[in-house]
């Protein structure tokens, strides 16, 4: 019996990346770690996001878009441009969530 290939998309992978970011830190997520969590290969992660810098920017953008306060607070602490460009109220809520 043939099995269907596992499908995944960018949004699903970013969901896993955000989940991992909460537990290990967004700047410590690796291709291998994310590939395992998303049930794909590190090469597929590379094809989807390019460099690790691009992957990290995508994680921060997803955190801003999805209002993931924990990951956004991490990105603000690392002075990430996309986090710094977020809505001031969202940034305030992210930092308050740390308290």
Per-residue pLDDT reduced to its tens digit, 9-23: 999 999 999 999 999
CB atoms under 10 Å from CB of 92, counted, come to 11
**Range(s) of the domain holding residue 90:** 10-97
99 pLDDT band, cuts 50/70/90, is confident
88 part of a folded domain: yes
67 part of a folded domain: yes
pTM for the model stands at: 0.89
> From the DSSP assignment, how many helices (H) and strands (E) are in the chain?
7, 0
22 part of a folded domain: yes
What pLDDT score was predicted for residue 6?
Answer: 57
pLDDT digits (tens, 9 = 90+) for 30-49: 999 999 999 999 999 999 99
Structural domain count of the chain: 1
């Amino acid at each position: 019996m043939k099995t269907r290939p596992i499908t995944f998309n960018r949004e699903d992978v970013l969901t896993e990346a955000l989940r991992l970011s909460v537990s290990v830190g967004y700047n410590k997520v690796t291709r291998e770690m994310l590939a395992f969590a998303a049930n794909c290969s590190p090469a597929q992660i590379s094809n989807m996001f390019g460099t690790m810098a691009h992957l990290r920017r995508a994680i921060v953008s997803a955190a801003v878009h999805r209002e993931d306060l924990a990951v956004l607070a991490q990105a603000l602490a690392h002075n990430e441009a996309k986090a710094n460009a977020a809505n001031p109220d969202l940034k305030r809520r992210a930092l308050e969530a740390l308290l």
